[in-house]
Chains A and B, each alone.
Chain A
Amino acid sequence: MAEVKTVNLTVDGKQITTPAGTLLIDACKSVGIEIPAFCYYPGLSLQGACRMCVVRVEKMPKLQTACTTPVAEGMIVTTESEEIAQSRKGILELLLGNHPLDCPVCDAGGQCELQDMTFKYGASGSNYVETKNHKEEQQWSPVVFFDRPRCILCYRCVRVCGEGMDVWALGVQNRGSSSVIAPNGGDHLDCEECGACIDICPVGALTSGAYRYKTRPWEMNHTATICTHCGDGCKTTLGTRQDNAGSEIVRGDNRDKSGINGDFLCIKGRYSFDFANREDRLTQPLVRQANGKLEPTTWEVAIEHVGKRLREVRQTRGGKAIGVIGSNRTTNEENYLLQKFARMVLQTNNIDHHRTADYPALLAALGGAANKAASLRDFEKAPAMLVLGNDPTEQHPALAWNIRTNVRTNRSRLYLANHADIKLRRQAKAAIEIPAHGYGALIRYLAGQESEFVPNDTATKFREALLAEPELVIAFGSEFRGRDLETLVAWALTLPNCKVAALGDYVNSRGAADMGVLPDFLPGYAPAAEGAGFADEYGAPLPTEPGMNLVQMMDAAGRGELGALYVVGSNPVSRYGVEPAVLANTFVVVQDMFLTETALLADVVLPAANLYEKSGTVTNTYGDIQLVKKASDTSGVRTDFEMIVRIADKMGARAQSMVPFGKGLRADLGQSRGAQSGEADRHAVWLAANNYEPKLSPFDPFATFDEIQRLVPSYAISRFELFSGADKAMRTDLVQIANFPADRADLVLPANDTLFTSGTLGRYSKVLHEVMESRETSPAETAAD
């Protein structure tokens, strides 16, 4: 890489050294000099339209716009002076002349850049007596409202939609003072409903249908956590407000640009938290009565019942007659605890989850190669990228955003091979179309192996160009599993500076696999048969024979061989199309938020908290480990973590051995609990009743995270970084899976979600529903997890 040239300049008497080509506005920011701007937005194209960022550059006749002026050697700049302040004040006066001065009722009040600047430059007095232009507010989509008189025409929304999202749903029409932002549908928007235009709007012109007029920014608590939807794991900051059922989430955004996703969020990260507030959410445990009906009961009764029945099955039929199905949306700690409970307490390896990518094969193929796993961030910077299969725009919106940004701002080269004409093709430097079942052949061709792939001219050039890339990141979809995946990774390892990422669905699919929610692997992909270290740590013998996978469990149930099935945050009945009769002779326990198809068949249904109502960590599909913080609360529900501990307790397991709380010094010191309400009290009471030290809670997921870090080397990341909100990718010490069975069934069932679906959970989101309805398409056949 060429050495970066630097430039020295003086700003307000301060000496600054910055890379050549830096814009003055950014150079100033780097030394703490904030220059006001409406139209400038880092990463988007330059406008120079608002004229707020004017500064005085010595030897220049006019004031210069800091947002369009690159630094130059020896430049002497003044950023605040009477002349500059007057110029800025003049702009504000012009804007306010027509702008409604009703900040107290404006939805952006308290979070408005126009308001802030008026405060600073004092332009509130009006020189005009004319009445202001009034226009009715318009609703452009279920999530986007437009209030024209408030618009200051900074064009941020137009750019983020076009340049950032590659959607181009917003334009500017007319000219002069009649100029107006216009949506592509004439009177409505036809778009991906990401809501970026709303968050990027510096004033109250674009507001969110989900949030507007609900509350004020300063009346909310803000909690930074991870979106529960797709496998990218974006950071979303949830604004919550106390209500009588706990605390309600009213807004999601990432305006502070922190986290792995910068300021990106898709519709799901920004709005689809609304499932949490549904009326039909379960808030009381249900137990099936003699009359065959599910009736509400108390937690004590329900947990007691579950513990008793599971104990019976274990005693009479052995652990082999019990099955456990874990979740793609629970935390690493919960997944870990679930497998520990299965293996240690239930004495079974019959544990599985809805698999959406073949992570074991990936890690086996990587063979512990450090620094070969690509983080989501790698797609922001890599000079070249290869996307095989998948449709990131629909299924991995943040990845698609990074890819587009990288192509746009760094001229990164995108290579694409797909059986469909996916949207990212627009950014691709080279693309080849292959048959839906042609991925294996393609990868063998790329790897220079014997292959049925018949290369045409494009393919030959594609391959040559790829091989000539000095640095490459590869993302591949669930089209690659087992052998093909192995070939892909082996080939990638032969390329210079190549990293790979497998694209799986849902927020913690990767975590479920990493945490051993699999019949044949313990956490960290330790083969079930080699669990000695785990047995030591758990202080109990563990079953060593690999268990049944999800499909086998259902078959066994159908044969009457499964005495009990414990389902945590999953909807296998719908996802795998299980006939209700299959589970007729099995005692089924389901922990979920809603009465899903699976819950309807259960004997006991326990109302569960969702990801926004708990703390812990999750791992995105790239292996980036991130902190989940409790943002809201719904009274009546419990975290899966707590339920597992309580059930284990009822089965006679010591809480202390389930959760090694008090062991080591790294337990949560309170940082991770988020908005507190009833939970802390409830725990304190339980602890006191059981003669435990109240501060050391068995419901503390970080005690479990300690244990994970002891047993799974790749999770041994800095606690400091985790808590400071930084994502930390699992880059080193990947497990080496010896003797990876060549004939292992991958059982991958891709979720095939779109931008507007999210498995079973998505069906409970009003926003997603409205969007689907407004598009007059019925929700895709989605099911399950």
Chain B
Amino acid sequence: MYLVSHPDEVKVISFRFGQGAEQIDKYIELGGYEQARRAIDMGPEAIINEVKASNLRGRGGAGFPTGLKWSFVPKGMDRPKYILVNGDESEPGTCKDRPICEYDPHSIIEGTIIAGLAVGAKQGFIYMRGEYRYLLDIMDKCIADAYAKGFLGKNIFGIEGLDFDCMSHSGAGAYEVGEESALMESLEGKRGVPRIRPPFPAVVGLYGGPTVINNVETIASVPHVLRLGGAEYAKIGTDRNGGTRLFGISGHVEKPGVYELPMGYSLRKAIYEVAGGIKGGKKLKAVVPGGSSTPVLKADEIDVGMDFDQLAKAGTMLGSAGIVVLDETVSIVEFALRTIKFYQHESCGWCIPCREGTDWLKKTITRVYQGNGVSKDLDNIKYLAENMMGRTFCPLGDAAAMPTIGFITKFRDEFEAFLSENPPTPGLVLQQAPNLVQLAAH
């Protein structure tokens, strides 16, 4: 991993990146832990109000207003409350939590403390996907340093009776575990199967206690919200979409990387200016704007501001802000197949429409891609995906269905080409990964 930068960037969360802020003294020198200290004096209500005013919305994907989420936690319950930081980052096209964990890990701890103060929790967990072992090690060192400085543990910041504990936790490879209720199951040592809602985690969560679950980036943004003040933070973004986001721009661009841009920034500019345009001067074919779950945009649909509302209006989603850029050479069928293969592999298997639906989608698209499709397959792909939409136990089913519907509606001609007399030759997905074929036919 390495850092990139562009003049259009507004460095709020990333301002300490590359300055050695993983060392606690450096972090403190750069203003670290000041906001946590200040939050103690502010008190829960003022913190929540400030976060509400900031228009900070969840960076995990769904974009739920963070302040509102915190306000759902019942006051004065006798069950212990928890803050659970979601560092499971597994959505394909997404790699934005990683730099925070690597370059500014203390901001996550500080954000966790502030969230704890806001809702009355005394314990925070930072759940890291198992693959991020080196980040877990960094995080563990930071947590130990924060304990040593008295920012964590008993009587934090020297305030008698004010306790807050925080620890990291490693996952072991499962995308679905990023879903908040499955995340709690996983942290409780179980299979990553989501829970029935209601009750919502804010009321009955981890170990039965009220639990706030936030994405790493959301939590890391919190100290900055307090630093700048809610209103100022909100101003950086657009209406109802406060602040900045870390956009990961990957795929066929000249300068892929994670860039911090204000909410509402133009997708076209992000691709052509910030990321240096299409690699090798090729033509743009399509963009997946917010991680693999978000429906594809065609080349002529990219004049859109990147915030939750504008992208929703454009028929897609901001999601995890992982922009994946596809040039003209990409076979959409191949891309759709790789996408559905992922969801088929990651479906937890709990509910029928997702477990069987992703499996049949993968099988059917594989067959089409191999040139063995039949004409009703294309309608059937759409029919299958539509039957999944809104009917699965958790949003993973939607996450698999939505992009599929997008591909087959917007690029139906490419699918049809595979049904023709002279189908295109399948690319590497099939040629070089026989496993995929085997898996698909199993």
Contact = CB atoms under 8 A, between A and B. Distances in A.
Interface of A: 46-51, 54, 61-63, 68, 86-87, 90-91, 93-95, 97-98, 127-130, 133, 152-153, 172, 174-179
B347 A54 contact: no
Contacts of B346: 176
B185 interface: no
B191 A90 contact: no
Interface in B311-370: 344-353, 355-360, 363-364, 367
B174 A175 contact: yes
B356, B357, B363, B384, most chain A CB atoms within 10 A: B356
A179 to B, nearest CB: 4
Nearest to A171: B191
A63, A175, A179, most chain B CB atoms within 10 A: A175
A153 B191 contact: no
A128 B363 contact: yes
A175 B391 contact: no
A393 B136 CA distance: 46
Nearest to A93: B387
Contact of B357 (A47, A50, A94): A94
A179 B358 CA distance: 13
Nearest to B356: A94
Nearest to A178: B349
B360 A174 contact: no
Given A98-B356, A175-B174, A176-B359, A128 B364 contact: yes
Contacts of B376: 127
Contacts of B359: 176-177
B371 to A, nearest CB: 14
B196 interface: yes
A90 B346 CA distance: 21
| A interface: dominant SS | loop
Contacts of B390: 61-63
B174 A51 contact: no
Nearest to B357: A94
B347 A177 contact: yes
A97 B355 contact: no
A174 B359 CA distance: 15
B340 to A, nearest CB: 12
A95 B352 contact: yes
Interface string B403-442: 0000000000000000000000000000000000000011
A153 B193 CA distance: 14
Contacts, number: 93
Nearest to A89: B387
A51 B387 contact: no
Contact of A152 (B352, B358, B374): B352
Nearest to B176: A175
Contacts of A51: 351-353, 391-393
B207 interface: no
What are the 10 tightest A-B residue pairs by CB atom distance, in nearest-first order? Answer: A179-B349, A90-B387, A94-B356, A177-B359, A176-B347, A176-B349, A62-B390, A175-B349, A127-B380, A49-B351
B196 A176 contact: no
Nearest to A52: B352
Contacts of A91: 352-353
Given A47-B350, A49-B393, A175-B349, 11 more contacts: A47-B196, A51-B353, A61-B390, A68-B196, A91-B352, A94-B387, A95-B356, A97-B360, A130-B363, A172-B191, A175-B348
Nearest to B381: A127
B391 A176 contact: no
Contacts of B355: 153, 176-177, 179
B88 to A, nearest CB: 15
A176 B352 contact: no
Interface string B152-181: 000000000000000000000010100000
A33 B364 CA distance: 37
Contact of B441 (A86, A94, A95, A130): A130
A176 B344 contact: yes
Contacts of B384: 94, 127
Contacts of B360: 94, 97, 127-128
Contact of A176 (B358, B380, B393): B358
Contacts of A68: 196
B383 interface: yes
A93 B357 CA distance: 10
27 contacts: A47-B196, A49-B352, A50-B351, A50-B352, A51-B353, A51-B393, A62-B390, A63-B390, A87-B387, A87-B391, A93-B387, A94-B384, A97-B360, A127-B360, A127-B383, A128-B363, A130-B367, A153-B352, A172-B191, A172-B349, A175-B174, A175-B191, A175-B348, A175-B349, A176-B347, A177-B359, A179-B349
Nearest to B343: A176
Contacts of A177: 344, 347, 349, 355-356, 358-359
Interface string B386-403: 010011110000000000
Nearest to A172: B191
A97 B364 contact: no
Nearest to B388: A90
B174, B348, B355, B390, most chain A CB atoms within 10 A: B355
A168 to B, nearest CB: 13
Contacts of B351: 48-51
Nearest to A87: B391
A97 B362 CA distance: 13
Contacts of B363: 128, 130
A47, A62, A129, most chain B CB atoms within 10 A: A129
A48 B393 contact: yes
Contacts of A95: 352, 356
Nearest to B398: A62
Nearest to A173: B191
B441 to A, nearest CB: 7
Nearest to B440: A130
Contacts of B393: 48-49, 51
B225 to A, nearest CB: 30
A174 B360 CA distance: 18
Contacts of A153: 349, 352, 355
A766 to B, nearest CB: 38
A90 B376 CA distance: 16
A127 B364 CA distance: 10
B174, B351, B376, most chain A CB atoms within 10 A: B351
Contacts of B392: 51
B344 A129 contact: no
B267 to A, nearest CB: 27
B391 A54 contact: yes
A711 B347 CA distance: 68
Contact of B349 (A98, A127, A130, A174): A174
A175 B380 CA distance: 25
A152 B352 CA distance: 8
A87 B397 CA distance: 14
B231 to A, nearest CB: 32
Contacts of B192: 175
Nearest to A38: B352
A162 to B, nearest CB: 13
Nearest to B351: A49
Given A63-B391, A94-B353, A48 B174 contact: no
A98 B355 CA distance: 12
A90 B391 contact: yes
B349 A94 contact: no
Contact of B196 (A48, A94, A129): A48
B366 to A, nearest CB: 9
A46 B198 CA distance: 12
B228 to A, nearest CB: 35
A95 B355 CA distance: 10
B357 A129 contact: no
A294 to B, nearest CB: 62
Contacts of B350: 47, 49
A178 B367 CA distance: 20
B89 to A, nearest CB: 19
A87 B367 CA distance: 25
Contacts of A127: 360, 376, 380, 383-384
